[in-house]
Structure 1
Amino acid sequence: MRVLERAWYSGACWPRVLLPLEYLFVTLAKRQRAKKQAKAWQAPVPVIVVGNISVGGTGKTPVVVALITMLRQAGYNPGVVSRGYGAKPPYVPYRVTADCTAQVGGDEPTMIVQRTDVPLIIDPDRPAACRALLESAQCDVIISDDGLQHYALQRDIEIAVVDSQRGLGNQHCLPVGPLREPAQRLAECDFIIINGQGAFNYPEAARMVLVASKLAPLQAELLPVSVAEWAGKSVHGVAGIGNPERFFLALEALGLKVIRHSFPDHHPYRDEDIAFNDGLPVIMTEKDAVKCRALKLPESTYYLPVDAQFDNGFEAHLLKRLTQKISERANHG
């Protein structure tokens, strides 16, 4: 898989031998989409879907966290539904709580709840998750985390997130390229968010930057550290996300000298994965931290909380679109 992934983003020509499989993939995906949309379930409250059209991480989770904050500030009571990739709950639909382990609730859902205390339900069946959410919490807006291709759930607003460094790769669908749907799918979305300052661009897209100021400790006896205090310091960077290099570059932009340790997205960490035995601090992503708290940690282990900031008037445009959708629902009701 790693070889194929490098080919998608390097301009290699050899994946084109898989073009017949891409045609089959796209044809079947279109049929599935039409079939599911014909019977799609509509929630009684607006649904905002945050997703992407490429495989791998693009930065959806910071967008979801930012949406929760901006909706609350605007007077809404949001809830979240998620597939819960890698989660092993005792049953579904399952309500993730702040004291859940990542093994039960999934790393991203658990992180979202620990950060925001939002009501969040995991279930691969998105309509079932929405129904359970509305039965267990007073929500007037639902955010679907990573649900762009889950067409069994009707949506009022679609937000697609694209990594600015990787973009759309070679712009081919699986397995020739990294796309789950053709690149033209972006034109159907209400909003495009480009994560980072890389070369990828898209008309009228909002640009997102992730801002960090402090390092948060995983060990209770340690205190948070200002990033500025560690400028020039050598650290071990640990990332098990879709694009680990993005995290390492962010650490270097903060003035740190990073020894890179990349792991697959949603990696189940073991003690030996982060046992470097040289006394240097370890810094990981917030998503990784929820999986590592129970491990035997190096003496100084921290994670980097980040907050999303958007340009191009994204927040105002989103809230305006949501108001319009609520009005349309009322008029059709």
Structure 2
Amino acid sequence: MTGHWSEYWKQGHITSFGSDYEKNYTGQLKDIWSNIFSQFPMGFKVLDVATGNGALPLLIQDYFSKLSVEGNVKGVDYADINLVPLVNSHINKNVVIELLGNTSAESLPFSDFEFDTVISQFGIEYSDLVISVPEVLRVLRDQGTFHAVIHHQKSVVIRYNSKLLSFLQYPEIERLVFLLKVMAHDMGEMINRQDLIRIRSCAICEKSRIEINALLSKLAAYDEISLSETGILSYVNVFFRNGLFWSIEKKLEYLAFVSKQITVYRQRLTELVEASMSFECIDTFREILNQSAVTTFSVEEVVNNTGDILAWYVFFSKDSH
């Protein structure tokens, strides 16, 4: 699972929604976390599971930026982490932030009873909860708390990403990239306007161009919004508008990049949708906690102003032993 998420975080995204939350989580999600952060004591020690590029640690430092409260936040993620967003945004030095990549939720490299609070946003549900939840309990102090915002199977987030995933399954997309590669070869080296005139009279090139346009029209008929939002249309436009006079080698390198990006995007969306939790999954979560003798557990749906489901909010506290 790590490869495509590592690729995603290397692009510098703060959240798992890319440009939708380019800077950090906002609205209802931010309000939930602000309420949780308000309960942190002086000298708090917090662990963020599946931190990505540190969205929640950065929200914590922002929350305490005008308060004289000190604390320590550690974030772990199974993928590689891009530390540049953290370095550029970590301005409140009263909150010490440390991010660890290549670290699984199922094997936390921390001592027993090390943290007051463990948090996770759209992360822990990707792990094997049978193993990761006991690990969370191990590193929590007695009466420590766990807070998580988790993907809901019926949320607008999952519906939207399921739609994009379905679109990316269309075979026309693979055919489209293949034809662009064929056309890169058939056009030959493009240097000047004379070459533009040359390829306009190239029957093979014209045949590929006509089929490419037909494929784009077909994909737009399937779902015009997804054609744009998955980046497919942009990739094609870059090839013809910016890349026409690239060398054949550079064109093929670009198309190899496009193929990789589409594959990675498809894998990431597949895992996102599969990680979303139904009511039955929440019951399983509850059963895991029951087996660990956790008695204080609550779960609720996070709903936006129009009544759409955004996520689950899960809370539990560790009993004293």
The TM-score normalised by the length of structure 1 is: 0.29
Structure with greater strand percent: 1
Structure with greater helix percent: 2
Q: Tell me which structure has the larger Cα radius of gyration.
A: 2
The TM-score normalised by the length of structure 2 is: 0.30
